[in-house]
Amino acid sequence: MPILQTLKGAVSTDSLGLMLPHEHLFVDLRGPFAPNYGEAEPEAVYNLVKPYLEAAEAAGVTAFVDCAPVGVGRNIAVLKYIADRTPIHIIVPTGVYKEGFVPTDWLDLSAEALADLWIRELTEGIEGTGIKAGFIKVALIDDGPTAIEARNLRAAAIASQATSAVIGSHTIGGKAARAELDILEQAGQDLSRFIWIHAHTEADTSIHLEAARRGAWIEFDAIGADKWFPEQDKLVDFTLNLMESGYSDQILLSHDAGWYEVGSPNGVPQPDGYRGYTALVDQFIPVLRARGLSETDIRQLTVLNPARAFAIG
Ligand SMILES: [Zn+2]
| C-alpha of residue 11 to centroid of ligand 1, in Å | 23
Rounded mean pLDDT, 101-114: 98
| C-alpha of residue 188 to centroid of ligand 1, in Å | 26
| C-alpha of residue 40 to centroid of ligand 1, in Å | 19
* DSSP track, 273-301: --B-S-HIIIIIHHHHHHTT--HHHHHII
| C-alpha of residue 68 to centroid of ligand 1, in Å | 7
| C-alpha of residue 260 to centroid of ligand 1, in Å | 13
| C-alpha of residue 27 to centroid of ligand 1, in Å | 9
3-state secondary structure 152-181: HHHHHHHHHHHHCCCEEEECCCHHHHHHHH
| C-alpha of residue 295 to centroid of ligand 1, in Å | 27
| C-alpha of residue 299 to centroid of ligand 1, in Å | 23
Rounded Cα distance, 108 and 86, in Å: 39
| C-alpha of residue 66 to centroid of ligand 1, in Å | 8
| C-alpha of residue 112 to centroid of ligand 1, in Å | 26
Q: What is the pLDDT of residue 32?
A: 96
| pLDDT per position as a tens digit, 164-176 | 999 999 999 999 9
Q: State percent of the chain over pLDDT 90.
A: 98
b/e sequence 91-124, b meaning 16+ C-beta within 10 Å: bbbbbbbbbebbeeebeebebeebbebbbebbee
Nearest in space to 22 (alpha carbons), one of 198, 188, 164: 198
Nearest in space to 277 (alpha carbons), one of 11, 45, 15, 19: 19
| C-alpha of residue 291 to centroid of ligand 1, in Å | 27
Helix (H) or strand (E) holding 46: helix 42-58
| C-alpha of residue 221 to centroid of ligand 1, in Å | 8
> Would you say 4 and 310 are in contact if contact means Cβ atoms under 8 Å apart?
yes
Rounded Cα distance, 212 and 197, in Å: 13
Task: Look at residue 1 and tell me whether its pLDDT is greater than 90.
Answer: no
CATH superfamily of 3-134+222-309: Metal-dependent hydrolases (3.20.20.140)
> Would you say 288 and 239 are in contact if contact means Cβ atoms under 8 Å apart?
yes
Domain segments of the chain as ranges: 3-134+222-309
- What does the angle CA 22 – CA 107 – CA 24 come to, to the nearest 5 degrees? 15
| C-alpha of residue 73 to centroid of ligand 1, in Å | 12
| C-alpha of residue 135 to centroid of ligand 1, in Å | 14
| pLDDT per position as a tens digit, 37-90 | 999 999 999 999 999 999 999 999 999 999 999 999 999 999 999 999 999 999
Rounded Cα distance, 97 and 68, in Å: 8
Residues around ligand 1, an ion, CB closer than 5 A: 67, 256
Rounded Cα distance, 137 and 194, in Å: 10
| C-alpha of residue 252 to centroid of ligand 1, in Å | 13
- Is the Cα torsion angle 77, 162, 198, 70 positive or negative in sign? positive
User: What is each CA distance from 73 to 35, 181, 268, in whole angstroms?
Assistant: 12, 27, 15
> Would you say 138 and 183 are in contact if contact means Cβ atoms under 8 Å apart?
no
Rounded Cα distance, 82 and 48, in Å: 11
Q: What is the pLDDT of residue 228?
A: 83
> Would you say 87 and 127 are in contact if contact means Cβ atoms under 8 Å apart?
no
CA of residue 12 relative to chain centroid, distance:
19
Rounded mean pLDDT, 283-302: 98
| C-alpha of residue 201 to centroid of ligand 1, in Å | 13
> Would you say 100 and 107 are in contact if contact means Cβ atoms under 8 Å apart?
no
| pLDDT per position as a tens digit, 141-153 | 999 999 999 999 9
